[in-house]
Structure 1
């Protein structure tokens, strides 16, 4: 199940918009009366409003960016993406590869004061598996045949077959551990999250801010310095940039390319750049008449100038030719299959039976300006190839429910985040159940085989075949992996983005220069 990301924006807005935004004080580093240092508070500009704070009920990155601070998982990735203990202090896998046993931490509490034990871990996994709950991530746990509570602090999972991705799934945000008593009572986790995480929810004012307070009883040995986190919901990048420069926010996790020079010119701001694990795409609903024809989908791919789209809409990046990010160890390079060629695109469209009275419905998530910019570029590039598209703007909740959930679109623009294991990106696409509605029996068989295979080189062979099918059948226009630019106040250090998952980790932030 793919997870959707938040984009960088190059749209500009009137600075007058600042007048209607009320920001929290970001960073208190001055001394109070009596010589006491004020509590450390940090603020981050969040690009949109999450639709829920129930991590089991969604696939959206916005939710996981918030819930990373509210919940813990059994395992988690370190800075290199390797798995390390979290709520599970250790784990072991049987010789048959069909049993995983977790030794859980003791003296861990939920935000409501109840103690964490194996019953909570078991109830959380069973909730994810439950057909009645119908988690969109349920397929990632389907290999689990039985969840056994060995004792208060030992949990065992019995698998139907070996499964390489499961440990990585259990380290991802959608595997958050919730209190069993509240699961049983039908608690509203969507609005009232209760976890063991480093912060608890103080307040959520929709479309304005989410305020988190430090969990003073958190299990990590290292003391967390940050007392309060304020996630200011500011969709417009130009307003975000002004907020950082004026000291109203500390952190921007998405910075537009044109804002880099002015931010780098300041001694009080640090800018870092790397390549994301995103795959930027124009998704194609293959169940819609002519879009079911592979020639038409190939025409769309030839019509798009990928590097220009990355440079203009996303601030640069590396083109890809399949459903994987360029830095992934399993990536296979098929970028040469569809060079930018409007004439070839027009020729293939005619062969597919396309006529210009067929105007494609190009749906764009309006609060993510880079995707809007990309969509406008794609509309013009398609027009140059004789292919007509009409833009329809929707808000993010509508995109999630209507486009991703119900496939009510012809074309759409989005970015898919990376996963700790490749199966997390590929799962479901061969069955035709994902929003591109692309059933392919061979693709599904290969994805299943890759999931059951533990040996790296064999998995690499399998996933190369998977990526070749994506490249040949193109249920997406695969555009590329974008650059990520993070900017933050030089008065803090230690802010971290979780590898491949694009979530925020505030646990290591401290006051003092990040240089």
Structure 2
């Protein structure tokens, strides 16, 4: 290229640059003018909860929360939605701003790993439904799984940090209120499978029954879809675990051998467990249950496509408990080896409480039926073939009948039964009767059509029970809790400063005493604020996020506005701006 050509080209580019700069200057001027003239709008939040007929307490909590949001200048709306659709929106679609639900509860601090770890941020189910991602939380969650020494200290650090980030709000732990016919000597109503075993092991005052234990439940769609891997439907508590047995049941913080005959742990290096199965165990269709079924269960839960979908397609239910398992190997027909890497025994043991699933039934369901969807997660599966003490006898819109599985090893071998089965069973089976609402469920017990409730009754129904001679009220502690969930994808809810403030806008003491009539415990400690009933961890400070800025459920508006303004937010004519 000649010097003249080069000079000409530079002049041409310079001229073009001048024109472009002039044009861009005009665009930039218009752009900034547009931004400057775009006024911030009021923050809007939609709160989803079930209708009052399905859970009156959740709606009362929602109502108090909405009123306090509105008083704080937030445009808050309530969207009532049927339970099945609510859980689909929360657990599958992530379609919500804020929700209020009753969570089934945690069995161990390790359950927070699935609830909050960012590896589940795009998953479904109760694995991180908030789309919450925080590398510090991830580190704490991983450390509490692997810290052989100092696990309690890591737990304290985690709980105190979660108070700062507030991915969700725990309001209160309701008591499990139930109704029982006076002939039954139980002091509680069952929620989990082993609790049904305990109730059925107690002889009624009028003697053993040749009829089933009649259990009252209420809710929408409870018999629509009994697929044990699904998370998008409401379900009857304990039903799946009555039909499908695990290797171990966790009972009162102890892992009781069930289908496992023995386990030996190796923790000197990488954690391993060698599990020996009971001999003579079979599935409900008579097929022998062996080590191959154990290996298959964990492989299948990790990827229901069994390798056909790139990246895998895990089953959403039981996923977190399954993720501690690095490998399961068959040693012989009755022996398997679990490998857990650096995971400590306490966290690893939770995976041994996952129900087992028969390979010959579920392996064909690895077929892909839609984009990234397997038959295993789409099937209704009314023919539940498990290995539990009960098998499905009949299903209808209004009931589910379970009959004894007569070939279960604990029905045929009395010598090595767990102590919890002493006296089992005083009934011929279990019949779940579905009622449209709690009042109808209670009336069926008073009329002698039902023996016991399997769904907690709201405190508003307690007085009616006290006035009855046929039935009595029972109350027990529970790990279940009412929670408020926040979608971190929302532009304001993704801000931890904003979440910290709105998490304080629910009066836990008032909720417990007035909305739950005292049949609950408020979340006030670091552990209970994330759903863990603690008392074993010594903290360096007291929680701040649980302090309600007001009295008797109503906020101090000036105080709350000051909190938002200190966090960088602005008000205009009493409305909180984005």
Question: Does TM, scored on the shorter chain, surpass 0.5?
Answer: yes
Aligned counterparts, 1:360-439, within 5 A = none
Structure 2 CA distance, aligned partners of 1:177 and 1:327?
Answer: 30
Aligned counterparts, 1:72-83, within 5 A = 72-78=245-251, 80-83=252-255
**Contact 1:9/1:236 (<8 A) preserved:** no
Correspondence for 1:117: 290
Correspondence for 2:431: 230
Correspondence for 2:521: 318
CA shift digits 1:409-441 (9 cap, x unpaired): xxxxxxxxxxxxxxxxxxxxxxxxxxxxxxxxx
How far apart are 1:242 and its partner, in Å?
1.5
Tell me: CA distance 1:249–1:63, structure 2 relative to 1, closer, same or farther (3 Å): closer
Correspondence for 2:503: 301
**Contact 1:71/1:196 (<8 A) preserved:** yes
- 1:39 maps onto 2:241 in alignment: no
- Structure 1 gaps of 5+ residues are 13-25, 30-35, 358-384, 389-515
Tell me: CA distance 1:86–1:217, structure 2 relative to 1, closer, same or farther (3 Å): same
Correspondence for 2:447: 246
Count of equivalent residues: 334
Structure 2 CA distance, aligned partners of 1:99 and 1:40?
Answer: 45
Tell me: CA distance 1:326–1:336, structure 2 relative to 1, closer, same or farther (3 Å): farther
How far apart are 1:156 and its partner, in Å?
0.9
Aligned counterparts, 1:55-134, within 5 A = 55-58=228-231, 62=235, 65-78=238-251, 80-94=252-266, 95-130=268-303, 132-134=312-314
2:328 aligned residue (131, 137, 147): 147
**Contact 2:217/2:236 (<8 A) preserved:** no
Structure 2 CA distance, aligned partners of 1:116 and 1:58?
Answer: 26
Q: Secondary structure at the match of 1:303?
A: coil
Structure 2 CA distance, aligned partners of 1:354 and 1:69?
Answer: 54
Correspondence for 1:347: 562
Tell me: CA distance 1:328–1:228, structure 2 relative to 1, closer, same or farther (3 Å): farther
Aligned counterparts, 1:170-185, within 5 A = 170-171=352-353, 175-185=354-364
1:162 aligned residue (343, 347, 350): 343
CA shift digits 1:364-421 (9 cap, x unpaired): xxxxxxxxxxxxxxxxxxxxx9779xxxxxxxxxxxxxxxxxxxxxxxxxxxxxxxxx
**Contact 1:318/1:326 (<8 A) preserved:** no
2:491 aligned residue (285, 289, 301): 289
TM-score normalised by length of structure 1: 0.57
Tell me: CA distance 1:11–1:291, structure 2 relative to 1, closer, same or farther (3 Å): closer
Structure 2 CA distance, aligned partners of 1:312 and 1:125?
Answer: 45
CA shift digits 1:273-326 (9 cap, x unpaired): 223212321111122112222332233123211122234444432221420333
**Contact 1:278/1:325 (<8 A) preserved:** no
Structure 2 CA distance, aligned partners of 1:324 and 1:170?
Answer: 22
Structure 2 CA distance, aligned partners of 1:263 and 1:204?
Answer: 29
Correspondence for 2:408: 218
Structure 2 CA distance, aligned partners of 1:10 and 1:302?
Answer: 19
**Contact 2:391/2:402 (<8 A) preserved:** yes
Structure 1 CA distance, aligned partners of 2:233 and 2:533?
Answer: 22
Structure 2 CA distance, aligned partners of 1:330 and 1:218?
Answer: 41
Correspondence for 2:552: none
How far apart are 1:110 and its partner, in Å?
1.0
Tell me: CA distance 1:305–1:219, structure 2 relative to 1, closer, same or farther (3 Å): same
Structure 1 CA distance, aligned partners of 2:321 and 2:58?
Answer: 37
**Contact 2:243/2:387 (<8 A) preserved:** yes
2:385 aligned residue (194, 198, 201): 194
Correspondence for 1:272: 474
TM-score normalised by length of structure 2: 0.51
Q: Which has the larger radius of gyration?
A: 2
